[in-house]
């Protein structure tokens, strides 16, 4: 027998001896009517082995914690974090020459509204909740133009404010403005 096994046996013997002393002390107190009520009540089962059910297997730590998962300490917090993390783009500023180029292209399309020419418009959509927004590209035919409000309406009922337009492309523009860069 090596030193490790001797120490292990010695430790187990010491542990059993201490349990025996405590159990004997509790048992003697119960017999004499001394000690508190808790010791008197439970002295007979104090050192019994822990019960493991054969019918109901024990749950793991994750399953114990899962019973509390529906509880949300901060209601709405996840939504706020998600909204803050949502990416919005800054609105790009066009210089005057680029604005004039878009205006000329838009004028060609407006003059030919009844001819069903397909256009591709990239425009800025402002975010309703926070600053910034996103760029959207739509393909369709221009249905009407409201000069007072400056709104272009497509046949699919998409309304685009003229100031939000970033670029306009169409085959008809290439025919009328071949030198346009």
Q: Tens of pLDDT along 135-153?
A: 999 999 988 989 899 899 9
What mean pLDDT comes out for the span 147-168?
A: 90
Contacts of 152 (CB under 8 A, 6+ apart): 106, 121, 142, 145, 159, 160, 161, 162, 165
- Write down the pTM of the prediction: 0.54
- pLDDT for the residue 138: 93
What mean pLDDT comes out for the span 46-75?
A: 73
pLDDT at 181 over 90: no
pLDDT at 23 over 70: no
Q: If we measure between CA atoms, which residue out of 53, 49, 31 comes closest to residue 40?
A: 31
- pLDDT for the residue 6: 47
pLDDT band at 56 (very low <50, low <70, confident <90, very high): confident
Distances (CA, A) of 107 to 122, 138, 171: 16, 18, 14
Comparing 23 with 84, the larger pLDDT belongs to: 84
- pLDDT for the residue 5: 44
What 3 state SS string does 87-136 have?
CCECCCCCCHHHHHHHHHHHHHHHHCHHHCCEEEEEEEEECCCCCCEEEE
């Amino acid at each position: 027998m090596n030193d490790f096994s001797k120490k292990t046996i010695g430790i187990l013997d010491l542990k059993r001896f201490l349990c025996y002393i405590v159990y004997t002390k509790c048992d003697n107190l119960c017999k004499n009517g001394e000690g508190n009520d808790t010791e008197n009540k439970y002295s007979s089962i104090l050192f019994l082995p822990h019960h493991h059910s054969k019918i109901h297997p024990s749950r793991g730590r994750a399953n114990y914690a899962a019973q509390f998962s529906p509880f949300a300490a901060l209601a709405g917090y996840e939504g706020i974090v998600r909204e803050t993390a949502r990416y919005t783009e800054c609105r790009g500023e066009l210089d005057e020459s680029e604005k004039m180029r878009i205006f000329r292209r838009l004028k060609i399309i407006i003059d030919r509204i009844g001819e069903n020419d397909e256009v591709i418009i990239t425009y800025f959509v402002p975010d309703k909740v926070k600053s910034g927004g996103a760029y959207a590209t739509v393909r369709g035919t221009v249905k009407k133009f409201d000069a007072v409000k400056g709104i272009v309406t497509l046949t699919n009922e998409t309304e685009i404010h003229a100031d939000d337009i970033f670029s306009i492309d169409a085959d008809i523009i290439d025919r009328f403005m071949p030198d346009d860069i």
